[in-house]
Amino acid sequence: MNSKNTLRIIVLVVIAAVGFLSKGKINVSSLANLVGADVHSSEEAIQALGQEAQNTFHVSQSENTVQTTEDSIAPQETAQSETTAAQEAASPAQAEESAQNAAKQNGYIALSGIEIPVCAAKDHAKDHEIRAFKNYKICYRETYEQPEWAAYLLTKEMLTKNSQRTNDFRPDPKISTGSATLADYRGSGYSRGHLAPAADFAYDSQAISETFYMSNMSPQTTDFNGGIWQELESQVRYWAKRFSRVYVISGPVLEKKASEYKSIGANKVSVPEYYYKAILAPVYKNASDRSSPEDSKSVMVIGFIMPNELREDSIWNYAVSIDEIENRTGLDFFSILDDELEEKLENTVKTTPWQ
């Protein structure tokens, strides 16, 4: 190609480029004839330029699009990341509080965690050790060498018996001060009384086995353990079936100093004179309410205090208010309830709904 034709093609290329950038239609033959350039050479040059320009245009457009997309998405991703981080950082207690607040706004009572009582740990925390098992929790009192409460949720689905009683009594290695041992009870004349009953956890082999840790035991007379206390435990299972679920707290009434109680074994396990149970059941308004069992429109409560001895009368003779159990144990039950509702429920004894 001679220099004159080359010059003409350059002019043609410039015109074509302007036309391309302005998104106009270009007739290469007409332009070539206009400037006197070789049509075939011009078309090759234009084609090469067009492809390069198109690639450049697409890359530029892609970069702009990506940048625009990133600008619009980045704040959303940041917000989502912050929300996720906040959710991950939230403790179970905070999660339960959020659920409680949401339920309250809808006029319902959130039940998750309602079974965990508040004890006086702030005054002597070293003597109040919370121990969580698969399906229940305890607060272990080293001074008395036993738990002051065992708390758990029992649902009707959990009443299916899939496992046999294991009887694998053993010390609890996770109690920092060391739990009571089998030797403490041996020859004492007292039974290793479950606070979280084995029969309530027969739906799962691990769950039932964990009830045999010595940290779940308290010295009970044989007549009491296999008599009226066992009858009350059976009644709780009946209530779980009848009301779909119940929230249960059991324990010894430790209303005196440890030194004022009779004790057994080398670890001086205190022998309680009384035991209690505090039970809460949801009262669902309708089928829709029942479909979300973790909250309910209302609740009802009942308490029992029984002497650690043979009793052959009715369990109903030992029904008491929740307030009475609180006064004698120093514990605060069902504290997540609104104060007004809590006071109303806990200062009276209403057995009719339970019978």
Tokens of 215: 């940290």
Q: Is residue 40 annotated as part of the catalytic site, yes or no?
A: no
d(CA 225, CA 202): 19
Query: CA 290, CA 277: separation in Å to the nearest integer?
Result: 25
Q: Which residues are within 8 A (CB) of 34 and not within 5 positions of it... i.e. 6 or more apart?
A: none
Pairing label, strands 146-155, 137-141: antiparallel
* Sign of the CA dihedral with 78 first, then 80, 81, and 82 last: positive
Residues 6+ positions from 182 with CB-CB distance below 8 Å: 169, 170, 171, 192, 214
- Structure-token match 């308490």, residue found: 303
CB 128 within 8 A of CB 121: yes
Supply the DSSP symbol for 123.
Answer: T
Convert 51-90 to b/e letters by CB count within 10 Å (16 or more is b).
eeeeeeeeeeeeeeeeeeeeeeeeeeeeeeeeeeeeeeee
Q: What are phi and psi of 268, to 5 degrees?
A: 55, 60
Distance (Å, whole) CA 120 – CA 143:
14
Nearest-CA neighbor of 147 among 162, 158, 136, 134?
136
Catalytically annotated residue among 40, 58, 128, 194: 194
What do you get for the CA distance between the two ends of the chain, in Å?
A: 110
Catalytic positions? 194
